[in-house]
Structure 1
């Protein structure tokens, strides 16, 4: 029973870590596809077309009993969702990646937790009690994750000579290869994209309250994102039909992988976690993506690891621990304790062999200090 409870409590954390691994692989594949001349507008369209084809059948079958009736307000929210993330955010993100590098783009997205946290507090989707140690932990942890990511980006320091990187001279992807103009242009695009992404997270959490069918919502977002993205791509790539062609190469792999993992599965997993933990919890783990990219680069590509990157990663891990601790305390459930008390009462009643109408009512209340049982007649 204890192992099952631990697993249930750890599922949200495992889910968001899986998302960051998925996004890290997507960054590498997408950058490779863009370097080969793939249009970012076409990549977005194919990505969500694949996601729609994969998710829609599951949504039709599994959400049949829980899917609420579609209303105009709900549909308008879904239209906005499909515009915010699939069209605006992803196109700006990939355009910013074109001007910079995958690592730079991943680093810039670390402003997402801060934006989401501020917006969630403004819209009262996040509990904010300044005197509470849990709120202080979330604020400090969010700031630490962003600060650690910036340290990883700006601070290099000496090279760490690890045994698996010996003999490699791969300096690809360092900031020195990016012009200042491209860095500024790419940064602005990614920043606006992150703001759009944060709006998507907040609106998704709001929409799930009136349309609590995660698979169906994901399918709708991907379908409408495909249609809206197609309209944008036809306008931006008019007179260039060759951009729509695909072969068995990195372009196809990037479209299929990002569609299945980073759109289909990601939207669904985000929705499930957000219903219980809120949008801030999901976005707080986004700095992990850059850490994963750095680790993957050192192992797979033999890229050099700098001391500054390690220091930044350490700060990120510390910040994530604070956020996770604050959020886990927000969602401590008393139901297992209540169930245990009920079992004790039931066993006591059975052992006496008769119904005792004078059972005492045990009320369990929670506070900052702990659990306080109260005995009422």
Structure 2
């Protein structure tokens, strides 16, 4: 019984990062839906981003303070500047572009384009020499080919909208204020979405470096929330001159802000930081297609949102490219493990042979003694 319990524990530890990333994508799926309802209700996206990160910082602060009190390194000025830049990439700049793009496109489109983050992260990692590409190896070819295919899918979604697929029945849930999307707005929203994915990819690379110098994911999440909220507030004051925009009632705006702050900007960001530390930045991005599928199903069958052939075609191509890249990355991660095992076995054989020689020499000496 104890052995069986131990095997379950080993399985849980092995697949814990996978489980956390699946839960993160489920959380993001509901974020897309509730945020779209919030924006169509009239809430300003920039105000929403500011409030949600204030909520996230308040919720995460006590956990960060008490749980990482002994392990949290000292925050230097240079490290604070690094967190400041990381907050721009991970909060204020990225999310303001990202959620603004939802006004001009659709939740299905935005969720699908997010799949390009893995390819963009890989390209940046290669440029910075964090990833090695060997075109003589099938793994290297798969990574390059997957990156190209994934970016082709994103290009199709961005430049080709295509005819819409009409719904077979009325939506089960009606989102108030949803209006038709014009082609010029679609292109504008597409550019904003792709730009946010680029900065998002840079953030994944940078946070991997930051975690090495500041190995306290709860504290880092808290700092990013408060600093990102301050940055977003400053930006919102510049672009939004109506004081009434900062007022929210006890309605969908309030619940969307609380959910986004607690779940998405707090818990999920902590999950991602932990998994980045354990598995690396590319692993974190490999689960994005899960939310793409769930968002498409909910949007079409439940909310009655139109699906466009360009989004479906580009999304399928992008997912194929993503998993080509991840197959190459997965094989690439197995290779060092295999080499480590071979090295361990070789060293073990050398040690065993050395022990046998020593034992033989001792026996010979004992036989020669009178």
The answer for the alignment partner of 2:11 in structure 1 is: 6
The answer for the alignment partner of 1:352 in structure 2 is: none
Residue 63 to residue 190, structure 1, CA distance change in 2 (3 Å): same
1:279 and 1:317 map into 2 onto residues whose CA distance is 18
User: How many angstroms does 1:237 deviate by?
Assistant: 2.0
User: How many angstroms does 1:287 deviate by?
Assistant: 3.4
User: How many angstroms does 1:150 deviate by?
Assistant: 6.4
Residue 333 to residue 75, structure 1, CA distance change in 2 (3 Å): farther
Matched position secondary structure for 2:230? helix
User: How many angstroms does 1:264 deviate by?
Assistant: 1.0
The superposition leaves residues 49-89 of structure 1 with CA deviations (integer Å, 9 ceiling, x where unpaired) of: 11001111100011112111111221111000111221111
RMSD of the TM alignment (CA)? 3.4
Asked if 1 retains the 8 angstrom alpha-carbon contact of 2:108 and 2:307, the reply is: no
Residue 73 to residue 333, structure 1, CA distance change in 2 (3 Å): farther
User: How many angstroms does 1:297 deviate by?
Assistant: 2.5
Does 1:66 pair with 2:68? no
Asked if 2 retains the 8 angstrom alpha-carbon contact of 1:84 and 1:196, the reply is: yes
Does 1:31 pair with 2:36? yes
After superposing the two structures, state which structure 1 stretch, 215-224 or 92-101, moved more: 92-101
| Residue ranges of structure 2 left out of the alignment (5+ in a row) | 1-5, 355-370
The answer for the alignment partner of 2:357 in structure 1 is: none
Residue 145 to residue 134, structure 1, CA distance change in 2 (3 Å): same
1:166 and 1:93 map into 2 onto residues whose CA distance is 30
Q: Whose helix fraction is larger, Structure 1's or Structure 2's?
A: 2
User: How many angstroms does 1:131 deviate by?
Assistant: 2.7
| Residue ranges of structure 1 left out of the alignment (5+ in a row) | 338-362
Within the candidate set 271, 274, 281, 1:272 is matched to: 274
The superposition leaves residues 126-169 of structure 1 with CA deviations (integer Å, 9 ceiling, x where unpaired) of: 34333333333333344445555667785879969xxxx86447
The answer for the alignment partner of 1:257 in structure 2 is: 259
User: How many angstroms does 1:309 deviate by?
Assistant: 7.2
User: How many angstroms does 1:35 deviate by?
Assistant: 1.1
Within the candidate set 120, 123, 142, 1:118 is matched to: 123
User: How many angstroms does 1:375 deviate by?
Assistant: 0.8
1:195 and 1:305 map into 2 onto residues whose CA distance is 25
Matched position secondary structure for 2:114? helix
Within the candidate set 201, 204, 210, 1:201 is matched to: 204
Residue 333 to residue 132, structure 1, CA distance change in 2 (3 Å): closer
Matched position secondary structure for 1:98? coil
Does 1:227 pair with 2:204? no
Matched position secondary structure for 1:275? helix
User: How many angstroms does 1:109 deviate by?
Assistant: 2.8
Q: Computing the radius of gyration over CA atoms, which structure comes out larger, 1 or 2?
A: 2
Report the TM-score when normalising by structure 1: 0.78
2:341 and 2:12 map into 1 onto residues whose CA distance is 24
2:324 and 2:72 map into 1 onto residues whose CA distance is 36
Does 1:82 pair with 2:84? no
The answer for the alignment partner of 1:181 in structure 2 is: 184
Report the TM-score when normalising by structure 2: 0.79
The answer for the alignment partner of 1:45 in structure 2 is: 50
Aligned length: 340
Asked if 1 retains the 8 angstrom alpha-carbon contact of 2:119 and 2:150, the reply is: no
Residue 167 to residue 180, structure 1, CA distance change in 2 (3 Å): closer
User: How many angstroms does 1:242 deviate by?
Assistant: 1.0
The superposition leaves residues 7-62 of structure 1 with CA deviations (integer Å, 9 ceiling, x where unpaired) of: 32322222222222222221111111111111111101111011001111100011
Matches within 5 A, 1:304-319: 318-319=320-321
The answer for the alignment partner of 1:287 in structure 2 is: 289
1:319 and 1:301 map into 2 onto residues whose CA distance is 29
Asked if 2 retains the 8 angstrom alpha-carbon contact of 1:120 and 1:280, the reply is: no
The answer for the alignment partner of 2:349 in structure 1 is: 375
1:365 and 1:22 map into 2 onto residues whose CA distance is 41
The answer for the alignment partner of 1:355 in structure 2 is: none
After superposing the two structures, state which structure 1 stretch, 129-138 or 285-294, moved more: 129-138
